[in-house]
Amino acid sequence: MNATVATSGRDSRQQFELSIGSVPLRLQMTDAQLFGAVSARYAAFTDAAEQPIAIDLNDGATAQGALADFGYEFEGAVLRAFSNQICFDAVRNQYALDSLLRIFLSWKLLGHNGFLLHAATVIRNKKAYIFTGRSGAGKSTVASLAPEGSVLTDEISLLRREDGIWRAYGTPFWGEFRAAGSNTSAPVAGIFRLLQAAENRVESLRPMATLRTILPNVLFFSAEAETNRQLLEILNQAAKEIAGYNLSFRKDRAFWEVLPT
């Protein structure tokens, strides 16, 4: 579907509609230059779903005096989520917007049994293999070794539990490998913690070890106790229901041979 480019009746705001992880969003802005950059950056994630979450960029007309349900400031750009309005202010460029979108989604996904994870995701046999680990562990290498078109993301994976099944979605938040993720999803085959080694080998993890693997790599920005409790519930369920593994990884294609099917 094409991006919706519209001019509202009361001003000259342009709109770009997209969805990330089945969360429909409408970005509204008056800055034509920013609109152009946004349209190009998120082109692969264009969508026109019903009732998208409207996000006002640099609108300046926020709900006066209202307390935000969630707020965050990142390098001068400010996110405020009110019950009836989402505001991104002081967004100077597409990169600042990208950062605020990640932060917003990390919070919004709590209501969708989902979370963002620093991980590369590759589709193989219609299942999503999620590779996580600290910087330099090999996420981009895994992505670079995967067949063309099979990489959902090389940087930020989005996981959601839908109808009792965990699915991994691509995101437009890319790392060093690909220009953009893929806006598709697949059931999760497993989460693999990358460990550089001289040989390729997998070792099954207990749920607690899987949680220990996931937690440091989850993107989450709220310092509020209750939202962190919600997140922990979701992560605990994920650790119980998704098979977790240590993947000793030689950084060659042969690692696929040791992965469970």
Interface ranges with other proteins (CB under 8 A): 206-208, 211-212, 215-216, 220, 222-225, 227-229, 231-233, 236, 239
Q: How far is the CB of 227 from other proteins (least distance, A)?
A: 8
Query: Which residues are CB-neighbours of 234 under 8 A, at least 6 positions away?
Result: 110, 113, 114, 115, 161
Taking the least distance from each CB to other proteins, the nearer of 208 and 254 is: 208
Strands 14-20, 23-29: pairing kind: antiparallel
86 closest CA partner among 64, 111, 69, 65: 69
User: Between residues 150 and 222, which has the closer beta carbon with respect to other proteins?
Assistant: 222
Closest to other proteins by CB, 192 vs 220, is 220
Q: What are phi and psi of 48, to 5 degrees?
A: -135, 65
CB of 224 to other proteins, least distance (A): 6
CA distance 93 to 157: 23
Minimum CB–partner distance for residue 74 and other proteins (Å): 15
Supply the minimum distance, in Å, between the C-beta of residue 241 and other proteins. Answer: 13
Closer CB to other proteins, 107 or 249, in the complex: 107
Give me the least distance between CB of 197 and other proteins, in Å please: 25
Pairing of strands 70-74, 244-249: unpaired
Decide the pairing of beta strands 86-89 and 53-57: parallel
Question: Which residues contact residue 8 at a Cβ distance below 8 angstroms, ignoring those fewer than 6 apart?
Answer: 15
The residue among 28 and 132 lying less far from other proteins, judged by its C-beta, is: 132
The least CB distance from residue 12 to other proteins, in Å, is: 40
Nearer to other proteins, 27 or 231 (CB): 231
Q: Which amino acid is at 34?
A: L
**What does residue 122 show for φ and ψ, rounded to 5 degrees?**
-125, 135
For residue 195, the one-letter residue type is L
